[in-house]
Structure 1
C-alpha cells in the first residue's frame, strides 16, 4: 500500500484532525481515505435511511474548510488512475 497524504484540516489542533489520503497503489481505481469525526448515532441513523451501513463502514464528518483538500485528493486519485502521478 502506498498512501499519498493530501492534507489535514487547516484549523487542526494537536494530533487529532480530519485528514485525506489517496491509496495510489489501488489500480486501476485509487481509493480515497478520510479521517474524520465519527458522526453521532442520530446522524448515522438518518444516513442509514438512504444507505445501509455494514459493520465495516462508518459515517464520518469532514469540515467544510477541507473542500479544497478533498478536491486535491480527487485530482490525485484521477492522476494515479491514469498513470500521471
Structure 2
C-alpha cells in the first residue's frame, strides 16, 4: 500500500486528529475521523438511498470530518485523479 499523507485537522491537537490520505495504488481516499454519536449513527443507518438497503454494513463505518478540512479533501481528490482515479 502506498499511502500519501494529505493533511490532518490542525485544530484537534495531538490526540486522535481527523486525517486524510490517498492510497495511490488503489486510488482510494482514506479517512480517519471522529465516531458519530448514537443519534447521528441511527440517522445514517435509517437513511434509504435509492437501490440500497438501509443500515450500515459491518464492514463500513460512519465518520465525521470537520468542514474546515474541505480543502484537504479537494487536494486528496485531485491527487487520486492524477494517479489514475
Instruction: Give the shorter-chain TM-score range.
Output: 0.7 to 0.9
1:50-71 Cα offsets, whole Å, 9 max, x none, are 2421111111100111010011
Mapping of residues 1-85 of structure 1, within 5 Å: 1-26=1-26, 30-50=27-47, 51-81=54-84
Q: Mind listing any 5+ residue stretches in structure 2 that lack a counterpart?
A: 48-53
Structure whose residues are more often strand by fraction: 1
TM-score, with length taken from structure 1: 0.86
Q: Give the distance between the partners of 1:79 and 1:12, measured in 2 at CA.
A: 29
Report the CA distance between 1:81 and its aligned residue.
1.2
Report the CA distance between 1:16 and its aligned residue.
1.6
Structure 1 segments (4+ residues) deviating >3 Å: none
Q: How many residues align?
A: 79
